[in-house]
Each structure stands twice: as C-alpha cells, then as structure tokens.
Amino acid sequence: MKRYTVLSGAAMLALSLAGCGAKGGSVWSVLLLIPAILLLLLALLQTKSYFDYCKRQREKGRREPKGMQPITWLLYGLAAVLLILSMVVNQPAKAPEAEALPPETTEQTADTAPTSHAGWLTFSADRELTASQYFVYDPEKGFVNASGETGEKVYPASITKLFTAYVAGQCLRKDMLVTVGDALDMVYPGSSVAELQRGDSLTVSQLIEAMMLPSGNDAAYVLAVEAGRAMGGENLSVADAVNTFVTEMNRQAKALGMLNTHFANPDGIHQADHYSSFDDLALLGALSVQDPVLLEYTGMANDRVNLQSGSVTWKNTNALIDPQSPYYCPHAIGLKTGQTPSAGSCLLSAFTYEGRTLIIGVFGCPEAEDRFADTLQLFNETIGY
C-alpha cells in the first residue's frame, strides 16, 4: 500500500510539472494546473503524516489504522480531475479547413459584370435587361429604342409625382407657404413619406422637393389639397379637394397631348384606372427637364431640412444622381423613381451627353437596383459605349 501510494503521488506530480512547463500551454491550462499541484502537495503531506503515524503505532506495538483518511483520497481525486482538465484545454485548436474553391467553369462571368468606364458603369452586350417595358426617347429625334408599341399601357407609380408637381406649380406660387394638416389622412399606410407632421409649414417649392427626393406621398397629398382648394374653394373637404386636383391633372394631361394617360391619385399608388404610356411619359420627361424647379430637385442627391416638427434629411431615391452610389452617372440629371407591386421597380430618367438630351424609362424591374443598371445599359448603348 505504501509503495503504491507514494508512486502514484510522485507520478501525478511529475505529470503536473511537465504539463505546466510545456511550451504553448494556454492560460486556462496553467490556471488549472496551479490548484492541481497544490492539492497534490497537500495529499502527499497527508500521506506522509499517515505513514509516520503508522510507524509510531508499530513501534508502540499498537494496531495500525486500516487506511488513509477519506480527505486524503479526496485531495488526490480533485488533483487528478484538475490535471485532466488542464490537459484537455491545452490541446491545440484544430486548424480551420481551407475554404473550398468553386469548381472550374467555362462561364465567363466577368464578361457580363459591370465595369467602370469614364466615371460610370458599363455592361457587356451579353447582359439582358430585367425590365419588362422600356424606352429611350430623344426630344429632338423621337424614340430611338423601345420594348414595344409606344402607346402601350404602363403603370407609372411614383413617376406620377412629376406631373403632380407640374400641375401644382400652375395653380400655386412656388414661394407660397402651406401648413400641413388633414391631408395626411389620405396617405396610404406604409407608403413612402417625407416625414411631414401636422403643423409643419413649407413652401410649395419645398413640398415639390419633398416629393422628388424621398418620394413623399404625404407631400403629394398636401400639395393636392392646397391646389384643389385654390381651384374649387377653401371649404372643400380633403377628399373633394384631392378629387378636384386629380381632375385638373387629367384635364392638363389631355391638353398637353398625353392621350393615353389617366390619373386616379396624386402620388401614384396603384389603381386600375391610373396608367400612362411610353408616348406620354416621354412627353412628361421632356416637360420636366424644361422646369427649373423640377430639374433642381430631381438632380439633388440629398438635403437637410428644418421643419417645425424637427430636422429631417431627405435622400433622393434615384441612385443615378448620388455621387456615393455605385450607379452614379455624371450625365444623369433626374428624374423620378417609382415602385408598386403592379408596376414593379421603375424609373424615368434624363441624361445630357454632348449637347443631347435623352429620356429613358424602365418599368417592371424585379429589384430596385435593376432599374438603375437597366437604365445605364440603355444609356450606354444609345451613346455607343
């Protein structure tokens, strides 16, 4: 018994010391080894005391105890547990496997990837447009490209706001102050807004900006109500004022030659009887680039505005005119994005290049970014890039 106990204690002490001195030992390993060694030393002291006691008993002719006290075995056990734990945590971490490389392919994906050319993205001829409908229009030469008949129906979504701004500008002075009120009740829940609050006072120009940059439906209804009451009387209800304004939108559209267009609201929320055509939207685009206020705001990337309800930042939804966007093009000067489930992601844009103006429309794109890529591709093809 004596020999077995001493040997086991000595072996455990040697293993502990060896583990503590091993190179690359982790901090947790050392922290576990220190109490393990202390417990082992205590157990060895208890063992020595037991053997000394047994020796004295034999010398006196007395009976020796049957075994060491349980506390001694407990100390050995705890020391063993800590030693095992220290060896476990000291195992080197398994090196991560190298990331598997994709199998070789004969597809030349780089050929269809966009590249930067002369400061904006260009695409290879292999890229397919995502838009279900599109056109390219030159105000001096007419249509130079289109996906179908120029009179075919298309849903304009928030591109509508260009005409809302145009008609409101015919009825109201641009510097006229308008106070936001119950017109907010007309805004479709969850639609895009400029964060206007009741009691805010903005000029007509600021409300146009609020429509053009963040595509604020709240600004569209505030303008529609104000212009509707200017035409039909101050006592008109909000709903009647909006109807009066929309009626004027349709009257002016026909007067301008937009014969395949019918408006049902001032913000572009989808309704079956709210539609336009390539012909009419091309005309609207050409009309917009001749309006200094519309051209200023549709070409503005962002603006910080102080309202009575607080300061807000309006960011243009058109990535083509944002210098921080990967879709930025220095030749883009506007105009307006749109998006509804029925219209998809759409964009009516305007470019100037070497003295030439181009109006490009894309409709029915599956993703918001697709409308910018499609537009740039059509622009590049038209100017020969």
Q: What is the pLDDT of residue 105?
A: 32
Residue 101 is assigned to a structural domain of this protein: no
End-to-end CA distance of the chain: 94
Q: What is the pLDDT of residue 53?
A: 67
CATH code, domain with 125: 3.40.710.10
Residue 94 is assigned to a structural domain of this protein: no
Assess whether 34 and 153 both reside in one domain.
no
Assess whether 156 and 292 both reside in one domain.
yes
Assess whether 125 and 211 both reside in one domain.
yes
Domain that holds residue 368: 115-383
Assess whether 284 and 190 both reside in one domain.
yes
Q: What is the pLDDT of residue 172?
A: 97
Contact 219, 160 (CB under 8 A): no
- Of 89, 123, 154, the one marking the end of a domain is 89
Residue 310 is assigned to a structural domain of this protein: yes
Assess whether 82 and 122 both reside in one domain.
no
Q: What proportions of the chain, in percent to the nearest 5, are helix, strand and coil?
A: 45, 20, 35
Residues near 127 by beta carbon (within 8 Å), at least 6 away in sequence: 112, 377
Residue 179 is assigned to a structural domain of this protein: yes
| Diameter of the chain measured on Cα atoms | 131
**Could you give the residue numbers annotated as active site?**
158, 161, 215
Say what angle helices 160-171 and 204-212 make with each other, to 10 degrees. 180
Q: Which of 82, 76, 95, 93 is nearest to 30 (CA)?
A: 82
Extract the tokens encoding 235: 């006592």
Residue 182 is assigned to a structural domain of this protein: yes
Q: What is the pLDDT of residue 143?
A: 97
Assess whether 144 and 220 both reside in one domain.
yes
Q: What is the pLDDT of residue 385?
A: 67
Assess whether 225 and 287 both reside in one domain.
yes
Q: Give the chain's radius of gyration (CA, Å).
A: 40
Residue 239 is assigned to a structural domain of this protein: yes
Q: Residue 189 in 3-state DSSP?
A: coil
Q: What is the pLDDT of residue 126?
A: 81
**In the chain, how many domains are there?**
2
Residue 373 is assigned to a structural domain of this protein: yes
User: Which ranges in 22-104 belong to alpha helices (H)?
Assistant: 27-59, 70-89
Distance between CA atoms of residues 343 and 364, nearest Å: 5
Q: What percentage of the chain exceeds 90 in pLDDT?
A: 66
Assess whether 19 and 154 both reside in one domain.
no
Model confidence over 341-369: pLDDT tens digits?
999 999 999 999 999 999 999 999 999 99
Distance between CA atoms of residues 132 and 304, nearest Å: 36
The mean of the pLDDT values for the chain is 84
Assess whether 139 and 239 both reside in one domain.
yes
Residue with token string 């641009």: 174
Positions of the chain with pLDDT lower than 50, given as ranges: 1-7, 10-11, 13-24, 92-112
Assess whether 205 and 133 both reside in one domain.
yes
Residue 128 is assigned to a structural domain of this protein: yes
Model confidence over 169-192: pLDDT tens digits?
999 999 999 999 999 999 999 999
Assess whether 257 and 367 both reside in one domain.
yes
Burial class of 209 by CB neighbour count within 10 A (0 to 12, 13 to 18, 19+): buried
Assess whether 231 and 162 both reside in one domain.
yes
